[in-house]
Amino acid sequence: MPKRKLGTCGLEVSALGLGCMGLSANYGPAGNRQEMITLIRSAVERGVTFFDTAEAYGPFTNEDLVGEALAPVRDQVVIATKFGFDIDPRTLERRGFDSRPEHIRLVVEASLKRLRTDRIDLLYQHRVDPNVPIEDVAGAVKGLIAEGKVEYFGLSEAGAHTMRRAHAVQPVAALQSEYSLWARDPEADVLPTCEELGIGFVPWSPLGQGFLTGQVEVGMTFASSDVRSRFPRFTPEAMKANQPIVDLLGTVAARKNATPAQIALAWLLAQKPWIVPIPGTRKMHRLDENLGAAAVELTPDELREIDSAASRIEVQGARATGREGYI
C-alpha cells in the first residue's frame, strides 16, 4: 500500500484509510465484535495505517472497538477521532453541538481511555459549532497538542473561511468532508483552500454510501436502522435518476479489469496527491476490493472522459451532510 502525506504538517498515512463508523453504527445493527476486530487487523496486515472513528459513532462503542483492535499495533497506525457533539450519557442522544474548550478536553480524556492510547494522532472537530468561535476551538486543541495528548488538528465539513480562521491559530493538518463523483461540493472553495494552506483532504463516503459500488439496486429499500432509509438520494426516484453515474463507472471499470468501486476510489486518488479516501466496509472481500483501487491508474484521457460524462449527469437528492445527526 503506497503512502501519502496529508498536507504539509508532516502527517503520512496509507493512500487509503479505513472508515470504521459502519462497523458499529448507522448501517443496521452493529457487526459481530470479533469479526470487526479481525477485519480491522486484516486491514493493518494489508498495509492500511489510517483508521477513522469518533465518539459519536455508536455513540462511544466504535472508539472502544477500534481501540481494542489496534492496541497490539498502536505505534504502527494513525488513529483519527472527533469531538463536537453534546451527547446525553444516559440516552446516548445528540442534544446539539458542543465545542466549548472545557468540553473538548473532557471528550479527549474519555476518547483516550476508549482507544487504549496515550495520544490521538488526528483530532477533528466533527462539525462546526456556531456558538463557539473557531479560534477558541483551535486554541483548545493547540493546548492539547502542547501536552502531547493530540498530534494533529483536523476539521470536518468546514468551509474555506472557517478553515482559514482555525489555521491561523493552530495549523490544520486535514479537512474531512464528503467527496465523491456524486458529491463534488468541495471542488468549488474547499479543495483550493486546502492546496493553498497545505491541508490534506480526507473524503468520507467516497463510495456514496455504497451507491457507487453498483451493488445498490434501484428500488432497494433499507431498514429504519440504516441511515440511507432517511437520505434523499436513496429514494427510488433519486436512485433511478442517479444510476447513470454507476453506469459510467461500470463502463470504465470493464475496460480496466476493475470494479465500479475501484474506479470511484481511483478517481479520487487521481485528483490530488494529498487526498486520502476512507471507504468503510464490514466484509473482507470488499476490503480487498477497495484496497485494490490503489493499484488502478486512470490515464489523463480516462479522467477527462469521466469528468466530461459526469458533468452531464445532474445528481438528484440532497447529499448526506450529517447535519441531521447521522454522520
- The model's pLDDT over 229-288, given as tens digits with 9 standing for 90+, comes to 999 999 999 999 999 999 999 999 999 999 999 999 999 999 999 999 999 999 999 999
The yes/no answer on whether domain 3-209+268-296 falls in CATH 3.20.20.100 is yes
CB 231 within 8 A of CB 320: yes
Mean pLDDT value across the chain: 96
Phi, psi (degrees; rounded to nearest 5) at 43: -60, -40
pLDDT at 120 over 50: yes
Taking 50 as the threshold, does the pLDDT of residue 152 lie above it?
yes
On the question of pLDDT at 324 being above 70, the answer is: no
Write out pLDDT tens, residues 69-111: 999 999 999 999 999 999 999 999 999 999 999 999 999 999 9
The least confident of 53-67, 190-204, 312-326 is 312-326
Q: What pLDDT, on the 0 to 100 scale, is given for residue 321?
A: 66
**155 - beta bridge partners?**
125, 175
Which residues are known catalytic residues?
57
Look at residue 217 in the predicted model and tell me its pLDDT.
87
| Domain ranges (residues) in the chain | 3-209+268-296
Secondary structure letter of residue 304 according to DSSP: H
Residue 146, number of CB atoms within 10 A of its CB: 10
Confidence of residue 327 (pLDDT cuts 50, 70, 90): very low
- What are the b/e assignments for 94-129, b being 16+ CB within 10 Å? beebbbbeebbbebbeebbebbebebbbbbbbbbbb
Instruction: Report the pLDDT value the prediction gives residue 179, as an integer from 0 to 100.
Output: 96
